[in-house]
Structure 1
Amino acid sequence: MDDFKGQCRRQLERSVEERIKYGFFRNYKPVLDDEPFRAFEKMGDYRRWADENLPRYLGYKIVENKFLKEIDNREE
């Protein structure tokens, strides 16, 4: 516990810029990070694409839900 408290104290001594710089790390996400952007006409199109193309461990999958189906199919 003393080690943890020491780490917290050292972190608070850093500037905000240093905390932001060292507080985040980039984690490569297969398929998602391979293109600069993707655009879809409807949210349902995106969900189907994600379900078919993204690895399951990223947590994307189609959830069977009547409310979501209504949102996906509505005309904007």
Structure 2
Amino acid sequence: MDLPKNVGDQDRNIRFAVGGLLVLAGIFTGQIILTILGLVAVGTAYLRTCLAYVPLKINTMKEGDGKTEQK
């Protein structure tokens, strides 16, 4: 299954930052749900795919996003 790349550079950077903060907050507070939400955000940023965007037909990719990545 080929997942669509629908997360642009700015969206990706925000997901990495927020996801990292959520993971840290979850670890320090002992809230497993925060850690899981953070890992989901980091995972979607890394894969450049948000499955919630697919049925809503959202695509934050712009021309030139992800040019440094290999296909």
TM-score (norm 2): 0.26
